[in-house]
Amino acid sequence: MQQDFDTSRRLPFLKMHGLGNDFVIVDSRGRDAIVTAELARAVGDRHRGVGFDQLAEIRSSDAADIDLDFWNSDGSRAGACGNATRCVGRLMLDETGKDEITIRTERGILIARRAGDEVSVNMGHPQRMWDEVPLSHPVDTDFLPLEGEPVAVGMGNPHAVFFVPDIKEVDVAGWGKRVEYDPLFPQRTNVEFAEVRSRDEIRMRVWERGTGITLACGSGACATVVAASVRGLTDKKVRMEVDGGWLTLDWREDGVWMTGPTQLVFQAEFDASFLERV
């Protein structure tokens, strides 16, 4: 593997999770970015590495408090990751002592705020045009021409949200994987299955592009409240139960706000021999 960093050095990282959506976080501020697709796959392997749903790399920014890049465990890039943004938001809020910080991701500058013990992030405005999601050709994004007629929503990454009468009956892995690779999605897609319990409560399960079933997905939760609201099934503010716990979503004038808990699990470092084997 081509590397532009010194493998004789160790590589410190943090393991964090938001509702069981788990992340390895590497802080590359003050040096060149070091994460490559190969490194992401090696670290993401739960046997050879440590495993994660996404790897997040913090970088110095000239436009916000930090820049943040996301990788899936198959080595692909994710344009957005709401739960990792909340986790890194927590780190930066604690580091700076501020109540609000800015994070530049591929989709633009996001704001993270303290919300009691939890962290809120404004995940920005949803993308509802077919070519923004993106889809492969013009269709009605409120009712995609697929079995189950999902809603297409971009949150900096693509999502297809299905409404189902009973979430327990859904084969999330089988159905999710089929939709992820449907030719309607030229960059593949994340897939959400949502059971609306009331106008302000949704139960959601997710199949993540490049990762598979996860216990939560922040951008997917944002996409789901947008989809439910567009279909007239819920209000714009909902509580959402995912496999890993509860999030609050609020689609406001300035974007979709997501609030929930974050957890630091451990701090460790990859040693030189691990990095040399990548």
Please report how close the Cβ of residue 156 comes to ligand API at its closest, in angstroms.
Answer: 8
Supply φ then ψ for residue 35, to 5 degrees.
Answer: -80, 130
Tell me the helix, strand and coil percentages in the chain, rounded to 5. 20, 40, 40
Please report how close the Cβ of residue 47 comes to ligand API at its closest, in angstroms.
Answer: 21
Q: Residue from 22, 53, 192, 241 that binds ligand API (CB under 6 A)?
A: 53
Give 266's strand partners: 15
CA distance 113 to 96: 12
Stretch touching ligand API by CB under 6 A, among 30-38, 140-148, 210-218, 241-249: 210-218
CA 10 to chain CA centroid, Å, is 27
Please report how close the Cβ of residue 89 comes to ligand API at its closest, in angstroms.
Answer: 12
Q: What is the DSSP letter of 133?
A: T
Is 87 an active-site residue?
no
Q: Which is nearer to ligand API, 83 or 262 (CB)?
A: 83
Stretch touching ligand API by CB under 6 A, among 96-104, 105-113, 206-214, 269-277: 206-214
CA distance 29 to 103: 13
Residue 35 makes contact with ligand API by CB under 6 A: no
- In the set 16, 26, 81, 216, the catalytic residue is 81
187 is in an annotated binding site: no
Q: Residue from 81, 87, 160, 202 that binds ligand API (CB under 6 A)?
A: 81
Residue 224 makes contact with ligand API by CB under 6 A: no
Please report how close the Cβ of residue 110 comes to ligand API at its closest, in angstroms.
Answer: 11
Is 81 an active-site residue?
yes
The residues carrying an active-site annotation are 81, 217
Q: What residues are designated binding site for substrate? A: 21, 54, 72, 82-83, 157, 190, 208-209, 218-219
